[in-house]
Structure formats: C-alpha cells, structure tokens
Structure 1
Amino acid sequence: MAKTAIQKLHDFIYERDHREIMLTGLFLVTALLFFLFALLALWMGHEDVFGLKMGLSGVMLLLFALYRRYGHTTFFALLFLLLVEFESVSAMFGGHFYDFVTVYPFFSVFGFFFFFSLRMALWLTLLHYIFWVGFAMVQYDIDAANPVFHLVPLLNMVSTTLVVVIIGVLYHISTEITYERLEQANRQKAVLIKEIHHRIKNNLNKIASLLGLQMLRLKRGTAESPEEILRRNKLRIETMAMVHEAIYKANDLENIEAESYLKNLVGLIAQSYGRSVPTEVHADVSLPIDKMLKIGMIVNELYTNSLKYAGMKRQETPFVYISLHRYQGRCVLRYSQSGFDPADEAKLKAEKGLGMTLVKLSAEELGGEPDISVQDNTLLLAITFAC
C-alpha cells in the first residue's frame, strides 16, 4: 500500500537527524520565498530582480536535490548559507526592499550555530560581521545618500548580529548539553541491555546444567517423586527470574536490594509448597546480579529443605532466620533453622544430593565456603565472601 504524504513526512521526521530536518525545511521554504519575491518583483516592474530571484529559487531546489542524493549536511548547509549571503548582498547592493534588507541577512548567523561546532560558528560569524561592515563602509563611500548605510540602519545591523550571536551561543550550548546527556543515557542503556542478555544466556546455560545433573540423578535412582523434582526445578528457575525482575524494577545491574529479594524468594517457596514456617529476613546490602543469583540459589535450596523436613522428627515448629550483612569489605550470609536434629548434622555435611551440591558450588563461585554446624538443635550455616 502506497504511503500518504503525511505518513512519508512522519517517517522522514522520525528517521532523520534534527539538522537534516532543519536544512530540508530551509531549502524548501527559502526556495518558495525566493519564488514569491520574484512574483512580487515582477508585479512591481523589477524584471531584473525577477530573474535573479527565480534563478536563486531554482538553485535552491537544485541544491536540495543534490543534498537529498548525496547527504553531507554540513557541506550543503554551508552552500545554503553562502547562497543566502549572496542574495543579501545583491538585495542591499541593488537597493531592493529597503524595509527588509537591514535585518533579515543577519538571521543567517543563527544557521552557523545550528549546523556547525561552536568554534566554527564563532569564526564564521566574525568573518560574516567583518564582511558586512566592510561592505557597508564601501557602499557608504559610493552612495552616501543610500538610507541603508546610514548610522541607524548600521546600528540595527550590529545590534541584530549581537542578539543573534548571544541566542546562537546559548542555543548551541544548551543543545549540546542535552544531546550529550541523551547520548550518555543511550550508551548506558545499550550496555545494560547487552549485559542483561549476557546474564540471561548464562542463566539458561545454568538451567540446562541443572537439568542435566537432575537427569544423572534420575538414572542413578532417587527417592524424590517426579512431582517434587519438577517443583524444585521450577523454584530454581523462578529464583533466577526474580533477580531479573528486581533488575527491571531498579534498572541497575550492580545494586539489587537483597532484603526485598530474599523476602520475596522465601514467600515464593512457601507458596509453592503450601506450607510456611516462622521466618525472619534481615539484609542491609545491595549486590550485583551475579552475586544475588548465587545467594538466591543457596537460600532456595536451604529454605526448600527447611519447609520439607524441619520439625518432622522433633515434632516442633521450626524457626528460620536469614541475614546478609557487610563487614569490613566482606559480606556474611547466615542461615539458621531451629528444630534441627543433631543426628542429621553429619549427613547434611556429607550430602551428595543436588541441593547441597548447588549450595557448595554457589558458595565457591562467591569465593567462600559454607561453614555448617549445629548448636542447641539449631542448624547454622555461614558463608563469608568478598563484596
């Protein structure tokens, strides 16, 4: 389906740089103005001016066609401004349209600040000013009676130039600051998206590895039911997903708030098993995504075991306490569970199951080692790592 004129204009505006849009508009509008001036000159009987304006209108359209074909905004912007300067000189030299010529030539100064760097714009403005002052002085010597070159019009030219220069400098500075901030934000977002994709890829590889380990255990035989196997793997995947949800909310890969993440995690596990035990979570640190993933895996395995087995032998309600704090440049993750049978301590330390394997591997990846002990029927596990 052919696009309408409005759709084409919309696509052009949103696909082009702001300088491209401005230069395109200037070419077309100026060509139209020259054409209208040509008609006005013809109506007033100035056939020479009519020919000049029509020629300038044609040149503008030609430059526009070349610009659309070859691009190079800065180069064609310079050609455009030179053509406007030529038209201004011819207007002042010929004495046409006295009511306009003392002001509108100097609006081209703003184009210097729009299309060129600040230093280049200032140099072009200086050359522009020197040229027009010299031109006015020469014209005054030639025709002192010409009102265009008297003191008041010349002061008008100077004041107009100064105002436009001030506006141009302020515009250029504010625009550059804005674009620099936007570019910096875009660079940060690009890095963030790339890093997130990298982490997702790693997580998918980890999930594949977990499933591979689970398949090996199934071949060797396991007491767990298929339903339990699927539930635990589901929780492991959701543990990873929750980290990415935290990133989405915080938009920061390096500072994931640990306490809210761990609270949400234990709530998810309890909901999955349809059972809850009294639990307290205290954490005062924010950690990068890779460390939070490993901590999440550790807590997931430990808390899952607590929900499944805690209090079964001793017939008492267990209590779980999870803390994560920073001390002297290192972080300490502590997990305690009351109602633990001391007879199971040796079994827990020698556990070859997937759960404890994941705890130990995750601790090693953090740069620590799980310290497991039982005191007063309370399981204590601590992992110290750099953070």
Structure 2
Amino acid sequence: MQSESIKAFFQGKDHKKIMLGGLYFSSVIMLIGLSLFALYMGHQTVFYAKFALAVVLSLLLVAFLITKKTPLFALLFLLVIEVESSTAMLSKHFYDFVTVYPFFPIFGFFFFFRLVTAAWMTLVHFIFWVGVSIYGYDAFSSHPLFHMVPLINMVASTIVVILVALFYHISTELTYKKLEHANRQKEILIKEIHHRIKNNLNKIASLLGLQIMKLREGGGESPEEILEKNKLRIETMAMVHDALYRTEDLENVDVTAYIENLVGLVSSSYGRTIDVEVHTDDMTLPLEKMLKLGIILNELYTNTIKHAEAAEGERLSVEIHLTVRGGEARLRYRQCGDVPVDPLSLRNGDGLGMMLVRLTVQEMDGRFEVVQNGGLEFRIAFPCERTF
C-alpha cells in the first residue's frame, strides 16, 4: 500500500512536487553514504553530523509527503542545505566533506518559487555568503577556500548561475504553462466529445421514437423504406463529425463542403441524380447548428429525390442558399419548376420528415415558412453567428 502511494506521488502532474520529493530522497541517500564513508575513514564527528542531517531530511520528507505543501518544504530544504554548506566551510572538521557548494541552492530558488520571490531569496543568499566569505577570509586565512582567487571565482560562478537559473525559470515556466493549457484543452475536448455523443444518441433515440409513433398510427411505408430513411438520418449526423475530424478545427464545420457531401450521400442512396446549386458564404458554422441544419436539409432533399418530378420540357433542379447576416442565418431551399402543392398544407403536414423539420427549427428558435416562388421554396431563419 505504501509503495503504491509513493508510486502515485511520483506519477503526479505537479512537477515541482515530484522534483522536491526527489531532492529530499536523493539527499538522504547521499548523506547516509557520506556518513558511512566518514565513519570508515575515522571521522566520527562528520559521521554523526551527516547522519543527523539525513535523519532531519528524512523526517521533513515524511512530513512533506503527508502535507504536500511544496513551497514550505522547499524553503525548509534550502535552509537546511544553506546551514549544512556554510557549517561545512567554516569548520575544519568538514573541509573534506562539503556536500553542496553555495551556488547550487540558487537553482532551487528559481525552480520552486515565483520570479520576484526567487530574486529576493537570491539577494539574501548572496549577502549571506559574502558575509561567510569575509568571516572565513579573516578567521581561516590559511584555508585555500578563503583566498582571494577562489572567492572571486565563487562570486563569478554565482553570477553565472543566477543568469542561467533566470533563463531556466523563464523558459520552464513558459513551457509548463503551455503544457497545462494544452492539457486543460484536452480535458475540455474529451468532456465535449462525450457530451456530443450523448446528444447524438438522444437525437437518434428521438428519431426512432417518432418513427415508432408514426408506425402505430398506420404509416404506409415499407420496413425497407423506413430503415433506409433512418440510416440516412444517422449518416447525416455522422458526416458532421467526419467533417470535423478531417480538419484541425474541432468546433466548426465548413458549410459548403458539408452540404455538397450530404447531397451526394442522399443521391447515391436513392440512385437518382438531380442538379443542385449550392450558394453559401465562405464560412463555417458551430457543430450543433450544423447538425440541426443537416437534419433539415436531409429531409428536404430526400423528399425531393423521392417525390419531385420536373414539369414537361423542364429539368428538375434544386437551389440551396445559406447566408448569415446580423446574427441570423437564412436558409432557402428551392425546388425549381411548377410544383402543384399547397405550401400551407405541406408546412403543417403530419409526415415524419416535415415533422422533423418543424421540431428542429423549433429547437433552433427559428422561423419556417413554405412558399411558391417559381417553384417550391422552403425558407428557414434562425439565430446564428458565423465562425469563419
């Protein structure tokens, strides 16, 4: 159980927490190794000091794993390292056992803390070590670490480390912010995909429910015709997702390409070709709007394919116009030629196809009318913003 919790900790998403846990653990291992080596070499004072420090860091590690307060335990870790390194340099017992050089904690400042906080901590760190160096130069003049050249080298190295740590901080934070943003977008996208699948399944269930209701009322269509129509309705919705997956934009669908593909699907399903002119603005529409629009166009064009006939001496054709102006989309589906149909009775017809059109327009908070305008024309308007 304990090994599982440790494994879960190091597989977490917080890179700072993982790094701090790793620093604690590796420092404890290193200090235990140094203490044993010091004991082997006969340096008992070093052994006790290093081993005690390993115990302190072990206790801090356990407390950190329980509380998971990264900033607090990062600060405690760095303070322990500062005390250990300064003590080692100022005591003759530890000259040969310096564990961490003074400029190493600077990386910790810039890794675990915000930029301003890290800058202040670096300044305090620098002042502290200047004081240690001045004291060491005065008190241990014979020690090689406190001669002028090593001290100048230490200061120069510290400045270089500060610059490196600064650039490291900026580049790392920018990278992780981008990764976190990408992860959030993926999570949102996965939730959205599940939501869309649920909505689509609900739509399919509603379509089948309406079909069952019409059958109970005594519909005249054969089972083959019913299955073919429902197959087309489902494929119409699937085409929207197919259009999304073929582009980098997972939210919006290219209108013209979708309508042309839909016309081709219905024509091939019924084995009949009609001249269709598609006139749309160069634009995309949101997924939900396009799904509903697809259901409407599928019903209208299927009805044309199955029932429409051209007047004598004319050729049957269809014009589809879609524009978006001032936050409103206007769809005109015009079946050209003289069609002897009463527009009002057609609009209010009790056929499943026309019922689907009316219900879908209602879902879109739209308006729907049928007129005779040199042919049978369906006019639909609904709120919509273009997203090209």
The question of a shared fold, defined as TM-score above 0.5 by the shorter chain, is answered with yes
* Cα distance between partner residues in 2 of 1:56 and 1:103: 13
| Mapped contact 1:318–1:338 kept (Cα < 8 A) | yes
Secondary structure (helix, strand or coil) at the match of 1:351 reads coil
Letter in 1 for 2:292: K
* Cα distance between partner residues in 1 of 2:185 and 2:126: 42
Aligned partner of 1:303 in structure 2 is: 301
Aligned partner of 2:212 in structure 1 is: 215
Aligned with 2:380 (options 376, 380, 383): 383
| TM-score, scaled to structure 1 | 0.85
Aligned partner of 1:280 in structure 2 is: 277
Shift of 1:88: 0.6
Aligned partner of 1:235 in structure 2 is: 232
Aligned partner of 2:175 in structure 1 is: 178
Q: Deviations over 1:260-298 (max 9, x none)?
A: 222222222223223332333343221112211221111
Secondary structure (helix, strand or coil) at the match of 2:381 reads strand
Aligned partner of 1:336 in structure 2 is: 334
* Cα distance between partner residues in 2 of 1:48 and 1:145: 22
| Mapped contact 1:310–1:340 kept (Cα < 8 A) | no
Aligned partner of 1:268 in structure 2 is: 265
* Cα distance between partner residues in 2 of 1:274 and 1:314: 22
| Mapped contact 2:344–2:370 kept (Cα < 8 A) | no
Letter in 2 for 1:332: R
Flag the 1:102–1:211 CA change in 2: closer, same or farther, 3 A.
closer
Letter in 2 for 1:321: E
Shift of 1:232: 1.5
Matched, 1:81 2:75: no
Shift of 1:207: 2.8
Give unpaired runs (5+ residues) of structure 1: none
> Which range moved further: 304-313 or 255-264?
304-313
Flag the 1:84–1:123 CA change in 2: closer, same or farther, 3 A.
same
Secondary structure (helix, strand or coil) at the match of 2:333 reads strand
| Mapped contact 1:88–1:101 kept (Cα < 8 A) | yes
> Which range moved further: 169-178 or 96-105?
96-105
Letter in 2 for 1:106: F
* Cα distance between partner residues in 2 of 1:17 and 1:224: 61
Matched, 1:108 2:91: no
Aligned partner of 1:49 in structure 2 is: 46
Q: Deviations over 1:183-215 (max 9, x none)?
A: 223333333333343343333333333323222
Secondary structure (helix, strand or coil) at the match of 1:59 reads helix
Letter in 1 for 2:174: I
Flag the 1:54–1:355 CA change in 2: closer, same or farther, 3 A.
same
Flag the 1:221–1:85 CA change in 2: closer, same or farther, 3 A.
same
Aligned partner of 2:156 in structure 1 is: 159
Letter in 2 for 1:373: V
Flag the 1:156–1:99 CA change in 2: closer, same or farther, 3 A.
farther
Aligned with 1:190 (options 187, 190, 196): 187
> Which range moved further: 339-348 or 137-146?
339-348
Q: Deviations over 1:115-166 (max 9, x none)?
A: 2222222222222112111122222232333332232222222222222222
* Cα distance between partner residues in 1 of 2:344 and 2:101: 92
Aligned partner of 2:136 in structure 1 is: 139
Secondary structure (helix, strand or coil) at the match of 2:316 reads coil
Letter in 1 for 2:376: L
* Cα distance between partner residues in 2 of 1:364 and 1:65: 61
* Cα distance between partner residues in 2 of 1:265 and 1:226: 23
Secondary structure (helix, strand or coil) at the match of 1:311 reads coil
Matched, 1:354 2:352: yes
| Mapped contact 1:258–1:285 kept (Cα < 8 A) | yes
* Cα distance between partner residues in 1 of 2:341 and 2:60: 90
Secondary structure (helix, strand or coil) at the match of 2:142 reads coil
Aligned partner of 1:320 in structure 2 is: 318
* Cα distance between partner residues in 2 of 1:11 and 1:260: 47
Aligned partner of 1:294 in structure 2 is: 292
* Cα distance between partner residues in 2 of 1:58 and 1:230: 75
Shift of 1:351: 2.5
| Mapped contact 1:103–1:160 kept (Cα < 8 A) | no
Shift of 1:231: 1.7
| TM-score, scaled to structure 2 | 0.85
* Cα distance between partner residues in 2 of 1:63 and 1:55: 12
| Mapped contact 1:102–1:148 kept (Cα < 8 A) | no
Q: Deviations over 1:83-126 (max 9, x none)?
A: 21122112211246768969822111111111222222222222
Flag the 1:245–1:351 CA change in 2: closer, same or farther, 3 A.
same
Aligned length: 383
> Which range moved further: 165-174 or 97-106?
97-106
* Cα distance between partner residues in 2 of 1:157 and 1:344: 95
Shift of 1:301: 0.4
Give unpaired runs (5+ residues) of structure 2: none
Letter in 2 for 1:288: P
Give me the identity figure in percent.
Answer: 52
Flag the 1:8–1:276 CA change in 2: closer, same or farther, 3 A.
farther
Flag the 1:40–1:280 CA change in 2: closer, same or farther, 3 A.
same
Flag the 1:385–1:16 CA change in 2: closer, same or farther, 3 A.
closer
